[in-house]
Amino acid sequence: MAVLGSTGSVGTSTLEVIAASEGRLVPYLLAANRSTRALVEQARIFRPAWIVVADAAAAGDLDVADLPAGTRLAVGPEPLDDLVRSPEVDRVVSAIVGAAGLRSTWAAVDAGKTVALANKETLVMAGPLVMRLAERTGARILPVDSEHSAIHQALRSGGFDEVERIVLTASGGPFRTWSQAALAAATPAEALRHPTWSMGRKITIDSATMMNKALELIEARWLFGVPSEKLGVIVHPQSIVHSLVEFVDGSVIAQLSPPDMKLPIQYALLHPRRLPGPSRRFDFSRAVGLEFEPPDPQRFPALRLGHEAASRGGSCGAVLNAANEEAVRGFLDGEIRFTDIADVCARVLDEHPFQADPSLDEIRRLDAWARQEVVKWVCV
Ligand code: NDP
C-alpha cells in the first residue's frame, strides 16, 4: 500500500487500520509534505520501503541515519508519482489535503491501482476526467469520505436504476444554531471546534461553512454518476447516520456507525470483505436519539454553490475548490471574516470563464486564476 498524507488526520487513522489488520495490509510507502519528524516515527513503526517528503526544504532537515534499515527517502512530487505507479503498490490511500492531492491520485488512477479516495478535491476538480481515466485503466476508486462510503454501502441494496435520491448527511458543524450576525464575527478558534468529528484544519473550517458538504455533492455527482437533481443534503447533528439512499419504492437505506474515520477507511481498504477492526462501536445499552433537519441556505450559502457546481459541471468544481482553499487560508490568517468565505467563492465562481470540458492543464490554469482572484479580493 501507499499512504499519501500519512501524517494527517486520515493518514494516521489509516495507519491504525493497518496496524490492526494482522499483516493483511502492508505499507510500501508513506508520504507527507513537511512533517519529517512524524514521518520518521511512522517509518520506525511500519518499516515501509520508502518515505517521501514533498517539500524539498523540509527534507533538508531530515537525517537519513534516523531512518530504519530498509527504508529509503525520496523527495518531491515527481518521485512520489513514480513510486505510486510501482508494481509493489496495489492500493493507494489518497489522503493529501487540497488540490495538491490531485497529481498523485491521478498517477495512481493512471497506473490502474485501487484508490481509497479521501482527497475529495480530486473529483471536485476533475471528476469527469478522473472517472474516464479509471474506466480506461481499470483503476477502482473506493470512497473514504464517510458519506460516500455510506452511499457506496447503501447502493448495494438495489439496482442503480432503482435509485430515486441520494441524501448526504451533514453534522451542521459548530455553527449549526448560530445567527447570521454571530457567524460574521466567528473566529478561527471557534470554527475549528467541531462537535462530532476530529479532522484536519482545512476540512474542519469547510465543515463550519458547510462548504465541505458542497464539495461532497460534487464528489458524489462524479463518483456515482448521478445527476445533481437526485442529490440532496440533510442536517443530522449526531453524525451517526452517514448518508441515505432512497429507492423508487420509497425504501430508505442508511449506514450507521459512531463517527470514526477508521470504519470507512477499512471498508475501502478491505473491500469487498468485512473483518473485525479498530473502529468505535455502538453501545446499544444506551439510549440514542437521531435528529434530522433541513439545512438553512441563508446562513450557509456554500451549499447553493455546491448544487450549482454539481449541476453545471465543467470548470465549476475546480474554480470553487481553489477559491475556497484560498479563502479558508485567508480566514485562518485573520484576513477575512467567516462569512466572507462563501461570498468570495460565489463571486469567483460567477465571474470565471466557464469551460464545459476542461483538460487537466486548463483545470490547473483555472485553479491558479481563482486563487489570484481571491487574493485580489482579500487585498481590496
Ligand atoms: P490533514 O491536514 O490532517 O493532513 C493532510 C496530509 O496531507 C498531511 O499528511 C500533510 O503532510 C499532507 N500533505 C499536504 N500537502 C501535501 C503535499 N503537497 N504533498 C504531500 N503531502 C501533503 O488533512 P485530513 O487528513 O483532514 O484530510 C485529508 C483529505 O481527506 C482532505 O482532502 C479531506 O477533505 C479528506 N477527508 C478528511 C476527513 C477527516 O476526517 N479528516 C474525512 C473525509 C475526507 P504534512 O503533515 O507534512 O503537512
* Average pLDDT for the chain: 97
Whole-number pLDDT of residue 379: 76
The verdict on residue 27 lying in a domain is yes
Q: How far are the Cα atoms of 21, 292, 315 from residue 15, in angstroms, in the given order?
A: 10, 33, 34
Query: Is the preceding peptide bond at 227 cis, omega within 30 degrees of 0?
Result: no
Whole-number pLDDT of residue 298: 96
Q: For residue 224, how far is its CA from the centre of ligand 1 (angstroms)? A: 23
Could you please report the per-residue DSSP string of 78-125? HHHHHHHTSTT--EEEE---STTHHHHHHHHHHTT-EEEE--THHHHH
- Strands 72-75 and 91-94: what pairing? unpaired
Whole-number pLDDT of residue 241: 98
Alpha carbons 191 and 155: distance in angstroms, whole number: 33
Which residues, 6 or more positions from 270, have their beta carbon under 8 angstroms from its beta carbon? 21, 24, 25
Same domain, 254 and 211: yes
Same domain, 116 and 163: no
Alpha carbons 45 and 36: distance in angstroms, whole number: 14
pLDDT digits (tens, 9 = 90+) for 17-73: 999 999 999 999 999 999 999 999 999 999 999 999 999 999 998 999 999 999 999
Alpha carbons 355 and 314: distance in angstroms, whole number: 6
Same domain, 221 and 285: yes
The verdict on residue 349 lying in a domain is no
Work out the number of other CB atoms within 10 angstroms of the CB of residue 333: 10
Q: Give me the helix-helix angle, 211-223 and 302-312, nearest 10°.
A: 20
The verdict on residue 20 lying in a domain is yes
Alpha carbons 308 and 122: distance in angstroms, whole number: 18
Domain tally, the chain: 2
CA torsion, points 190, 195, 199, 205, in degrees to nearest 10?
Answer: -40
Whole-number pLDDT of residue 20: 97
Same domain, 287 and 198: yes
Q: How far are the Cα atoms of 161, 297, 361, 366 from residue 320, in angstroms, in the given order?
A: 30, 17, 17, 10
Q: Please state the rounded mean pLDDT for residues 171-199.
A: 96
Does 133 score more than 90 pLDDT?
yes
Q: Please state the rounded mean pLDDT for residues 152-171.
A: 97
Which of these three, 143, 166, 196, is where a domain ends?
A: 143
pLDDT band for position 138 (cuts 50, 70, 90)? very high
Q: Is the CB of 99 under 6 A from ligand 1?
A: no
Which of these three, 143, 162, 196, is where a domain ends?
A: 143
Grid cell listed for 272: 469487498
In three-state secondary structure terms, 163 is: strand
Does 178 score more than 90 pLDDT?
yes
Same domain, 75 and 155: no
Same domain, 45 and 168: no
Does 288 score more than 90 pLDDT?
no
Same domain, 154 and 223: yes
Any idea how long the chain is? 380
Whole-number pLDDT of residue 284: 87
Q: Is the CB of 74 under 6 A from ligand 1?
A: no
Whole-number pLDDT of residue 100: 95
The verdict on residue 153 lying in a domain is yes
Task: Check which CATH number belongs to the domain holding 76 and give it.
Answer: 3.40.50.720
pLDDT digits (tens, 9 = 90+) for 233-262: 999 999 999 999 999 999 999 999 999 999
Whole-number pLDDT of residue 273: 95
Question: Among 52, 80, 97, which is best to mutate for testing ligand 1, by the most ligand atoms less than 8 A from CB?
Answer: 97
Q: Is residue 14 within 8 Å of 7, Cβ to Cβ?
A: no
pLDDT band for position 303 (cuts 50, 70, 90)? very high
pLDDT digits (tens, 9 = 90+) for 340-360: 999 999 999 999 999 999 999
The verdict on residue 323 lying in a domain is no
Whole-number pLDDT of residue 378: 82
Grid cell listed for 150: 455510506
The verdict on residue 163 lying in a domain is yes
Same domain, 264 and 285: yes
Q: Is the CB of 214 under 6 A from ligand 1?
A: no
Whole-number pLDDT of residue 314: 98
Alpha carbons 45 and 236: distance in angstroms, whole number: 38
Which of these three, 107, 124, 143, is where a domain ends?
A: 143
Give which of 355, 348, 350 is closest to 372, Cα–Cα. Answer: 348
Residue-range definition of the domain harbouring residue 220: 148-313
Same domain, 82 and 152: no
- Calculate ∠ Cα 145-25-168, nearest 5°: 10
Q: Is the CB of 253 under 6 A from ligand 1?
A: no
The verdict on residue 366 lying in a domain is no
Whole-number pLDDT of residue 330: 96
Does 377 score more than 90 pLDDT?
no
Does 9 score more than 80 pLDDT?
yes
In three-state secondary structure terms, 299 is: coil
Grid cell listed for 255: 449506514
Q: Is the CB of 268 under 6 A from ligand 1?
A: no
Same domain, 162 and 309: yes
pLDDT band for position 269 (cuts 50, 70, 90)? very high
- The protein residue with its alpha carbon nearest to ligand 1, atom 16, reads 33
Same domain, 83 and 216: no
pLDDT band for position 287 (cuts 50, 70, 90)? confident
- Ligand 1 atom nearest residue 6's Cα: 9
Whole-number pLDDT of residue 110: 98
Same domain, 81 and 129: yes
Q: Is 172 left (phi over 0), alpha (psi -120 to 50) or beta?
A: left
Q: Is the CB of 30 under 6 A from ligand 1?
A: no
pLDDT band for position 229 (cuts 50, 70, 90)? very high
Q: Is the CB of 5 under 6 A from ligand 1?
A: yes
The verdict on residue 277 lying in a domain is yes
Q: For residue 7, how far is its CA from the centre of ligand 1 (angstroms)? A: 8
Question: Among 203, 205, 219, 279, which is best to mutate for testing ligand 1, by the most ligand atoms less than 8 A from CB?
Answer: 203
